[in-house]
Structures are given as C-alpha cells and as structure tokens.
Structure 1
Amino acid sequence: MTDLLTPLHDALTRARHHGADHADALIMRSQNRSAMIRQGKAEGIRHAEGLSLSLRVFHQGRVASVSGNDLTTHALDQLAERACAMAQAVPPSPEDGLAEHPLIPLPQEAITKLDLFDSTPTPEIDALLATAKEMEGTALAHKGITNSSGAAASASTHDIALATSAGFAGQYQRSGHSRSISVVAGTGPHMQRDYAFHNAVHQADLHNPTHLGDEAARHALARLNPIRPKTGFYPVLFAPRVSSSLLAHFAAAINGAAIVQEASFLKDKRGAALFHKGITLTDDPTLPRLAGSRPFDGEGSATLPLNLVENGQLNHWLLDSRCARKLGFPTSNGRAVRSGGSVRPGLSTFYLHPGDHSPSALQSDIKEGVLLTELMGNAINMLTGDYSRGGSGFMIRNGEIAEPVSGITIAGNLLEMFARLIPANDLDLMAGYHAPTIRIDHMSLAGD
C-alpha cells in the first residue's frame, strides 16, 4: 500500500501556512479493469487508473474546497494557496467545520477486521473476458434465449486516505469485483429481457459465471407471454432484487440534508412509530467483507452500528457534522460520506432486519396479488411521500406464483406503505440485497 498520509500532512501544513484555521484532505487512488462480451465478441475493454486529492479549508466561518492530482510539494502549495484565497472570498457558512470528535488514533485492527481488501491477484483483462464469455455462453445455451444484451466482469482496487488538522489520520484499501449479464427470450413483439448480477469485495464471494448465466436465462424465460391484471387494489410482494429500493426512499427522507432543507415527508417524524413493532433498520459500517463498510467516515469520525429504526420507531437522522449543527445536535452520528471536497450525510450498509416467515408463508394467504421482480421509473414525491412506479413480475393466485405480468404501475404513499410493511426471513447481504422479500397490502395497481 502506497503511503498517502505524507502528502496529506504536507497539504494540511501548507493550508495552515496560507491562513486556514482548520483543514482536512482526502486522497483516493484507484485502478479499474472491466471487460464486456456481446454475442461472443469483445465489445468493451477498459483499464483506468486515477489519483485525486481534495483539500477543504476553513477560515473565519467560511469554507472552500479544491481538487488536484499532483502530489508534488510545489503543486500542493499552490493548491493550498488557492483554497485559502477562495475561503476568504465566499459567504460565511458557520455550521461548516471539522468533526467535533474525530477518531484519534485509528487502531490498525479496526481496518484489518473489516477485511475490505482482496489480496489475491486482480484478474487480468483476458480473465475478465473469459468470465463474461462463460456467463453469456451459459445463458444462450438455454432453449428460448434468442439474444444477449451483453455480459460484463470488472475488478477494482482503491487506496483511501484522510487526514485533518484536528489530528486524525487514516488510510485503508478496498477492492471490488462484479459480474453482470442481460439476455433476451422470445422473438418479435413477444421478447422479454432480464438480467443477473453480483458484486463482492472478494473474488471468492462472487457467484460463479454459470450460476449467473443460468439465473438470467431463467428469469427472462419466465417472463414470456405476460398479462396485465385488472386495475385495482392488491397485496404486493417486493422480491429482494427490488425491495431495497424502499429502503433507499426511506434513507433519502431521513437524510440530514433533506431535513435541514425541510424537503422530506419525514421531517417531523423523529421519535414516531412508522413501522410495525419489531421492525428494525440498521446502518452498520462494521460488517466484514461488505462494500458499504468502512473504518472511519468522511470526516474522520468513528463508525459504529446505528439502529435508525428500532421496534418500528424512527430514532435518528443521518448526520454529518454540518447537518448536526444545523439541527441542534451536539455531534454527528458518523454518517458523513465524501466525494472529493463535498461532504454530506450518507449510508454504509443499511439493511432491514429479516422477519419470522418465509416468502412462501407471506404469500400463502393471498388469493390474488402481485410479486414484483422489476421496477421502472421513479415518480416519488419526497415532500408528500406519494409513490408511483412502473413494474413487472408475476401474479400470485391462491398463494402460488402464477403467470407473468408487465406494463403495470403500482402506487401508494410511503408513510402508509411503511406502516403496512412485513419482511420475510430471506435477507442475504452477501448476495448484495439489503432487504428481504417485503409484503405490503392494499396497494393501487394500474393495469387493464
């Protein structure tokens, strides 16, 4: 691992020299390889490397940030001088500043136990092409699969280092691997498309190419000859590949930035019971071998598990230091994420705890309903919670999965949907799903 803390400390020293009261800096070094196959031929090969340093300075209640990719002494001095000059010219922003309680020092074991870096050799382009070709070949071997939208495999490594003038300094590595495939079943106006994918920190945790090819083919074939059910109100099951989208809407509504701007339908709901008793939603940055985990947040604060919802009650907003100050909290809850010089509240591994019943048990008493396996569009009103999305999936008849459906629109209000939400017991974080199958009764469905 390349030492990135030395240039960070140099940048901070130079920022203080040019007049900054405080400063923090982030370096990210990345390498990415990806390969795509379509109809057995290479269609996209990419090998990219990147390096960026973002410096954020604070001066008399003002903040400015700049970025560069040159870590030489002269370049860092120029970067710091420019940032400090900008900070003297912008309007005051008194809530901006360093975290109140940075993590000092960062124990190495806190990084090691997360197991975020795969030390096995990163696959070369030829190996990625072979993986993609195997996925596609497996899928196309299924009778009824008529075309491929492509199969892809990628691998990446990232070095991340953060330091602040308050004394925090931390550096770690993370890796990422992904495989995906999309295929078409049928011909002419009866064609249906579906996909399979998997992302993992370690290569050993990835689903094998044959598994993914088979999965994509089965899903596409199962969607042939869909119907459109009659417009009405139905119980709806969200399969794990789409149920996480409900968590994303919830997370956006409890984001501190949205609460500060009063741009959320949950802005007055902290402390309220939004879900059934027994429902827990946790953001946990400490889970090993998961892409969302991290040893420190974007401001150098400690990262600890946090039950945002416990026993159905909303207990916390997602807070970075700025939003915490804006909302009158003494400190952030370690949820700062950083993209360059921009810091905002965000998530790590946010998941809905599983329920007590299997998916088949959840659907067993449904006389007529819908299992959603794909969602399209995003007509969500974050001020009111009104929800409307296109979808496809399968009818449920007398407790059993029946014929495929497509071209439908489901609608409701997220507050009402949360109150009726029932989770199944099939949560699988290693598969990349952050919610189990979810049942929500009495949703509006627009069909024929």
Structure 2
Amino acid sequence: MTQTLPDLTQALIDAAQKAGAESCDAIAVEGTSLSITVHDGKLEKADRSEGIDIGLRVLIGQKQANVSSSDTQSRTISEMAERAVAMAKEAPDDPHIGLADPSQFAVETDASALELLDDSAEPEPAILQDLALEAEASALAVEGVTQVQSAAAGYGKRQAYFQTSNGFGGGSARSDFGLSCVAISGAGTGMERDYDFDGRVFQSDLCSAAEIGTRAGERAVARLNARKPKTGAFPVLFDERIASSLIGHLLAATNGAAIARGASWAIDSLGKQVLPSHLDIMEDPHKKRSGASRVFDAEGLPTKARHIVTDGVLQGWTLDLATARKLGMESTANAARGTNGPPQPSLTNVHMTQGDRTRDDLIADMGTGLLVTNMIGSTINPTTGDYSRGASGFWVENGEITYPVNECTVAGNLKDMLLNLVPANDAQLHLSRVVPSLLIEGLTLAGE
C-alpha cells in the first residue's frame, strides 16, 4: 500500500521519539517535473523526474540535528531517526532553537483559496515541445537573429506535508509552468545574446510562445554593436527585469539571520529611513496564483500581510522562531525549509510602491546616463553596503536611447542608492517580487 505524505511524516516522528528525541518535526515532499528543450527545429532534450524526499529534525535539550533521504522504506526511516538522535547528542547547544508552542500554530491550513495548483492534466510532452518550437521560430523570425541558443518549456507539480511532534500538521500542493527562449544576434566576435522567460502557476496565464520568442529576438538584436560607455558619475535606470535585485539587497540585509549574526549593513536601520518617504514595501503571503504564497510557515505559524517599509521607514526584520528569540522579538512567520536543513527566515511575495511615470518618462528625465538591462557578477560588501556590478544596456543622451553598451561597472553604496530611488510604473504584478524600473542619480560608471 502506498504511503501518503502525512503517513511518512508520522512515521518519521514515531521513529524519532522511539530513538530518543525529546521533540521533532518532519517534512515529506513529492514532486514531478517535465522539461523539453528544442534546438534548430528539433527536440534536443526531454527530462522527466519524479520522487519523494523526506526530512527529519530532532531536538534533544537545546541541541538539534537534521537528516534527509529519498528512500521511504521503514528500515530507512528508523535508521534516519537513530542517526539524527546520535548527531543531536553531539551537536553544540543553541539556546534559541525549539518548536513553536501549540498556541502559536495556524488554525487554517487549507491553501486552496490561494489558487496554487493547476489541477488540469499534466501536459503531454508533445504540447510542451510545440510551445518551445513556436518560441524558437518566433525568435528566428526577428530580423538580425542568427540563431537560437535554446528554447524550452517545462511543467512541475509539488506536494509537501509538514508535521511536528507537538500537534501541528499541514500540507499544500502547487504547480508551475515555464517557457523560455535565448536568442543570438550577429556573428563571430560580434555576437550578442539575450532572453525572455515567463513562469506561472497556471498554464493558461503564460505569455504566448510567440511573445516570448519575439521579445528574446528583439532584445538580442538591440544589443548589436555595443560599446563601452563613458566613465564618470551619471544617473542609472535599472530596467524592471533586473530592478528587483536592488530591493533584494535590502531584503537580504534585513533578514533576521544576517541581523542575528551582526553581518548586515542595515543592522542599525530599524525605525530609520531606508527608502524615499513616499515608498512602501509590503509582504503578502496570501497573494493568489503566486508560487511563493503560503498560509502557514515552515514552523506551523499562520502567515499574514505585513509592512516591511512604510513611508520609507524600516518597520522590522524578517524572522523565524530561532532568530526572533535571539533578537528578543516575535517571529514574523517567515520560516522556510527544505528536507535537509532547519528553518531559516525567508520572504514570500513582496510588493513595492510604484511611481506615476513610465520608464520612458524616466529616460527622458535622465538627460545623459545609462539604462541597465542586464547585470553580471557581483561584488557587494554585506556589512558596509558597498556595491559594484558588471552591467550592460543602453546609453541615454538628451533623454533618448542612443546606442547599446556593455563591459561597464556600476558602483555606489546601497544605503545611498536606496535613499535616492525614483520608481517607474511598469512592475509586473504577477511576479512574487513586484518592483518597477528604478532610477538612481549619481552612480559611478567605469567604462572607457
């Protein structure tokens, strides 16, 4: 008889308690994925995988250990539990670990209202192949595209169940569909590459394959004959598709794990201005049709919307139970975990205030500067906020895009950069991180 995910987590907990665990939690994850890649009008690769992974965390006093496996046999579960208990006994004490109190547990565990699962039949490989072929053909139809490096379509479905030894149990299921295309323009040393991608919970929400391919092709062609920009201090506009990385640095710096380690440039920023006064950042774990949504976190706490930044002022850290205890605070129900490790603080869906002007309006306001559309590499000091990244995009003169640029570096300090953001109004609302294009004055460019 096939075991369900709750059966597996209960078996893990029973085995751990039998082996000597004082408390424990367990997670079981079952997943299926299918991906199709085409090249030159033909199938290049087809991959399918499915399986179950299980994870167990045991606690003895203030010591803990984690073990995981993809083998769900009873013998393996018993061996896992015995090994975890033995490991925990040798682990160092951590005064901040521990399961949630039952009074903290989420009462509502049904996530169906969040629409995280497309319960239609798994797509046939031939359907995914046709989508990938259409994207490739659309990219090749763009004048100036010389080849398509790859076009791919994929599907995934994942079910997970989490259970604690002191009374919590809950699970969820979610699906995802993806479509991508990487196009190449030019030839020889003058070749340029760019891409487009879309990922959704429901296949019906995906952008069309023709749109994906055409955008990838047009972006690759637009990069032809790129040159280095000028060196100096100029305004820089971060395009929407990479602007979320800037906000991501703030979110990483305000993660409780970094704060608890004392390794964050934002450690003294709580209650202080970190963005312009008219900007907010909200977290919404209950956003519909977003793969990052959840009704309870990986410690069984109920999730809820919260302000991370209000009127530019930082409102709080992102916390799980252990980091909250270490900092003398309450968890923000942001624990996340896989099968092979303990909980860690992690965000769900984030939405930043948009501006009232288009990206073109901000380009016109720039005068002379750089529109960044792609970034490579990263040299960011997590304790000082010093920022330096390789970039490419388009040079702007007199408020108009004039030519493509590459091989340049954008540098500044994140504290100053974030305080001088000007947002556009072009964020994609379906993403888990909704951030528009962002203009920053006076960054340092290293070019020719």
| Structure 2 CA distance for aligned equivalents of residues 84 and 367 of structure 1 | 64
The aligned residue for residue 335 of structure 1 is 334
2:100 match: secondary structure: coil
In structure 2, the CA distance between the partners of 1:444 and 1:437, relative to structure 1 (3 Å rule), is: same
Q: TM-score, normalised by structure 1?
A: 0.96
2:434 match: secondary structure: coil
| Structure 2 CA distance for aligned equivalents of residues 223 and 35 of structure 1 | 28
What whole-Å deviation, never above 9, does each CA across 1:63-93 have from its counterpart, x for those lacking one? 1111123334443333222222222222212
Q: TM-score, normalised by structure 2?
A: 0.96
The aligned residue for residue 126 of structure 1 is 126
The aligned residue for residue 47 of structure 1 is 48
In structure 2, the CA distance between the partners of 1:221 and 1:104, relative to structure 1 (3 Å rule), is: closer
The aligned residue for residue 103 of structure 1 is 105
The aligned residue for residue 270 of structure 2 is 270
Q: What amino acid sits opposite 2:123 in the alignment? A: P
What whole-Å deviation, never above 9, does each CA across 1:398-432 have from its counterpart, x for those lacking one? 22222211111110000000010111111213256
Q: What amino acid sits opposite 1:96 in the alignment? A: I
- Between 1:303-312 and 1:97-106, the stretch displaced more is 97-106
- Could you list the runs of 5+ residues in structure 2 that have no partner in the other structure? none
What whole-Å deviation, never above 9, does each CA across 1:29-61 have from its counterpart, x for those lacking one? 000000111222222211011211101111111
1:90 aligns with 2:95: no
The Cα of 1:361 is off from its aligned counterpart by: 2.3
| Structure 2 CA distance for aligned equivalents of residues 149 and 342 of structure 1 | 39
The percentage of aligned residue pairs carrying the same residue is: 38
| Structure 2 CA distance for aligned equivalents of residues 359 and 71 of structure 1 | 52
> Do 2:350 and 2:432's aligned partners in 1 also have CA atoms closer than 8 Å?
no
> Do 1:241 and 1:433's aligned partners in 2 also have CA atoms closer than 8 Å?
no
The Cα of 1:15 is off from its aligned counterpart by: 1.9
CA-based RMSD: 1.7
- Between 1:13-22 and 1:417-426, the stretch displaced more is 13-22
Q: What amino acid sits opposite 1:271 in the alignment? A: G
1:240 aligns with 2:240: yes
| Structure 2 CA distance for aligned equivalents of residues 433 and 85 of structure 1 | 41
Query: How many equivalent pairs are there?
Result: 445
In structure 2, the CA distance between the partners of 1:2 and 1:315, relative to structure 1 (3 Å rule), is: farther
| Structure 2 CA distance for aligned equivalents of residues 333 and 431 of structure 1 | 22
1:236 match: secondary structure: strand
The Cα of 1:102 is off from its aligned counterpart by: 3.8
The aligned residue for residue 32 of structure 2 is 31
| Structure 2 CA distance for aligned equivalents of residues 67 and 228 of structure 1 | 49
1:92 match: secondary structure: coil
The aligned residue for residue 13 of structure 2 is 12
What whole-Å deviation, never above 9, does each CA across 1:166-207 have from its counterpart, x for those lacking one? 211101100011111111111222221111001111101111
State how 1:25-424 maps to structure 2 within 5 Å: 25-100=26-101, 102-108=104-110, 111-329=111-329, 331-340=330-339, 341-424=341-424
- Between 1:93-102 and 1:410-419, the stretch displaced more is 93-102
Q: What amino acid sits opposite 1:53 in the alignment? A: I
- Between 1:300-309 and 1:79-88, the stretch displaced more is 79-88
- Could you list the runs of 5+ residues in structure 1 that have no partner in the other structure? none
> Do 1:256 and 1:319's aligned partners in 2 also have CA atoms closer than 8 Å?
yes
In structure 2, the CA distance between the partners of 1:298 and 1:431, relative to structure 1 (3 Å rule), is: closer
Q: What amino acid sits opposite 1:13 in the alignment? A: D
> Do 1:190 and 1:224's aligned partners in 2 also have CA atoms closer than 8 Å?
yes
| Structure 1 CA distance for aligned equivalents of residues 77 and 227 of structure 2 | 62
In structure 2, the CA distance between the partners of 1:337 and 1:431, relative to structure 1 (3 Å rule), is: closer
- Between 1:35-44 and 1:144-153, the stretch displaced more is 35-44
Q: What amino acid sits opposite 2:287 in the alignment? A: L
| Structure 2 CA distance for aligned equivalents of residues 433 and 186 of structure 1 | 33
| Structure 2 CA distance for aligned equivalents of residues 102 and 9 of structure 1 | 21
The Cα of 1:369 is off from its aligned counterpart by: 1.3
